[in-house]
Structure 1
């Protein structure tokens, strides 16, 4: 059985390696702008993950294939924070997160091409940041770490010091809820 991770994320590759040793990566070319945000963050991330998953499924010929896709966003007061486009946007996101509770949502989609079965799920983790000084935010932005991460931070890096409390799956905040994924793969019949 061929297993494909539909993601360019180094963090997702590293996390998937914890439960699977043999998989390959094919980066999805799905245009995320095709999915409008309708106010339901769980549904939104599931649709994004499914779009990525099916994009890769349509680009592969082999049928004995399982494709895994994931998409993660940060939600603060019903506003979705994706990846910042520049330093100003990163600063604004981190300023908004400072001293507040936010939610990290990941949509997960696993598609078994052989029997045409698909499972989509979403996972939500609640995170509370300490109050951050402008100087600390600027120091973090200078590290260049925020730019490929939803909400402009990576909990597994320097920004881990921002986190006062976490309620839910830590790995979800990193970018791949491996507990949920493990049981979805088992349900799909993947030999783990």
Structure 2
């Protein structure tokens, strides 16, 4: 069975290799602005993941494929923190996260193009940041690492020094909760 990851994320690609030997990448062109945040983070990230998976499905032929869509957000104080638009926004996000507990939500959508079966789910992980001095935030931003990551940090890179503790799935914070995805794929009939 053909497995497709509907994501340009190098981190998701690396993580998926841990549970699926052979898959292809087809980047979704889904317009994420079509999904409005209604206050429910779980529904929001599942809708984004579903949009990505179905967008890729619409471009494929009739062969059976399993498409994986995923999206990740950081949530703090009723605010969704996506990828920063610039260095100033990255600084403001990290300053906001400093010394606080926030949640990381990843939505998953697994779609079978032949049967039209769609399974969605999400994972939430709680993350506690230490208090970060402004000069450390500025130095971190200069590495360029925060610019393509929700919440302006990557736990698997230099941003890991900000994390005091986590409660939940580590891989979720990177962007692909492997445990949950593994069982969704098995439920869809993918032999792993």
- Establish whether TM, by shorter chain, passes 0.5: yes
Shift of 1:62: 3.3
Deviations 1:16-40 (A, max 9, x none): 0000010000000000000011111
1:121-142 C-alpha deviation (Å, 9 max, x unpaired): 0100000000000000000000
Q: Which residue does the alignment assign to 1:26?
A: 26
- Hey, what does 1:110 align to over in structure 2? 110
How many positions carry a matched residue from both structures?
192
Rounded to whole Å, the distance in 1 between the matches of 2:110 and 2:46 is 11
Greater Cα offset, 12-21 or 112-121: 112-121
Q: Could you state the TM-score of these two structures normalised by the residue count of structure 1? A: 0.99
Superposition RMSD in Å: 0.5
Q: Deviations over 1:103-159 (max 9, x none)?
A: 000000000112111100010000000000000000000000000000000000001
Unaligned runs of 5+ in 2: none
- Residue 63 of structure 1 deviates from its aligned partner by 2.9
Structure-2-length-normalised TM-score: 0.99
Deviations 1:161-187 (A, max 9, x none): 100010000000000000000000000
Task: Show the 5 A alignment for 1:66-81.
Answer: 66-81=66-81
1:11-70 CA-partner distances (Å, limit 9, x unpaired):
000000000010000000000000011111110000000000000000111331000010
Structure 1 stretches of at least 4 aligned residues deviating more than 6 Å after TM superposition: none
Alignment of 1:100-139 (within 5 A): 100-139=100-139
| Gap runs ≥5 in structure 1 | none
